Amino acid sequence: MMSNENPKKIPVILDTDIGDDIDDTWAVALMLNSPELDVKLIVTDFGNTPGRAKIVAKYLEVCGRTDIPVGIGIKQSDKIVHQAKWADDYDLDKYPGKIYYDGVGAIIDTIMQSEEPVTLIAIGPMPNIAAALERKPAIAKRARFIGMQGSIYKGYGGSEKVCAEYNVKADPKSCRKAFTAPWDITITPLDTCGLVRLTGEKYRKVYESALPGTRALIENYKVWCQAGDPEQYREASSTLFDTAAVYLAISEDLLNIEKLGVRVTDDGFTVIDETAKKIRCATSWKDLAAFEDFLVNRLT
């Protein structure tokens, strides 16, 4: 993994619901293999946040990146997440790095204590983000927000029918709080993130990689697949929604960005409304194949 010594790195915080859909783990792997990023904190959000934190901590230890603190976000349930089996034997209290049991406070402190603006990447539902904004509104003046949320012109799988995307629908109120805060916002909705999938030789390169972090990624994917098609992990990736958000923290070169007024409805839709706050939406790819190559290169 990359060192953290380059002062020109972009300081980032990741807020993630890792453990349910495997794409969060792909996003963490991409983030750790991106020398442009200085990962200050990873915080687990939504549902069983301590269970999610075990996955993050074990993964960071496998990658040799225990310099990165782990924050436990607001716990809402004891529901077992899909990847829990991979970290069942992991003792969070023995993580060699720092564990913050108040993940929301850790987000606030990391942003407020940073000498330069922090990029906050949110790739799940956002009760932590809403709580942080409520507790310390000033964070919005010291951070930029990048999210994987919404459905603007297209739905899942490139469908022409827009839908209530999961990260929004799971907690529309928190999403609305994040989308209306006075920070610079860029999102990758389903229009772009919903098209990312590795197949054929591109997937094969990742599957066969000997890098410890990539091996652990595939191990997680194998566990995750047990809930559906147990052999899928051998052939192709699932849809890698969250990787597009990490890419946006690094570059926008491969995406078309539109500035749109976006309103979050109570039933989880992200509706274009010119009276709403303008946010930057990655609504189409300039070169999706080039992004796939970028992802494969970083992970291998």
Q: What is the 3-state secondary structure (H, E, C) of 130-185?
A: HHHHHHCHHHHHCEEEEECCCCCCCCHHHCCCCCCCHHHHCCHHHHHHHHHCCCEE
Q: Is 182 a member of any domain?
A: yes
Q: Is 121 a member of any domain?
A: yes
Count of structural domains within the chain? 1
Position 8 scores a pLDDT of 85
Residues 6+ positions from 208 with CB-CB distance below 8 Å: none
Annotate 15-78 with DSSP letters as a single string: EE-TTSSTHHHHHHHHHHT-TTEEEEEEEE-SSSHHHHHHHHHHHHHHTT-TTS-EEE------
Give 132-191 pLDDT, tens digit per residue. 999 999 999 999 999 999 999 999 999 999 999 999 999 999 999 999 999 999 999 999
Q: Is 2 a member of any domain?
A: no
> Residue 2 pLDDT > 50, yes or no?
no
Task: Show the domain range for 281.
Answer: 10-299
Q: Is 3 a member of any domain?
A: no
Closest CA to 20 of 121, 125, 103, 147: 125
Mean per-residue pLDDT over the chain, rounded: 96
Q: What percent of the chain has pLDDT over 70?
A: 98
Q: Is 93 a member of any domain?
A: yes
Q: Is 1 a member of any domain?
A: no
pTM of structure: 0.96
Instruction: State the CATH number of the domain containing residue 189.
Output: 3.90.245.10
Give 153-167 pLDDT, tens digit per residue. 999 999 999 999 999
Closest CA to 43 of 96, 114, 117, 122: 122
Q: Is 4 a member of any domain?
A: no
Q: What percent of the chain has pLDDT over 90?
A: 97
Give 84-101 pLDDT, tens digit per residue. 999 999 999 999 999 999
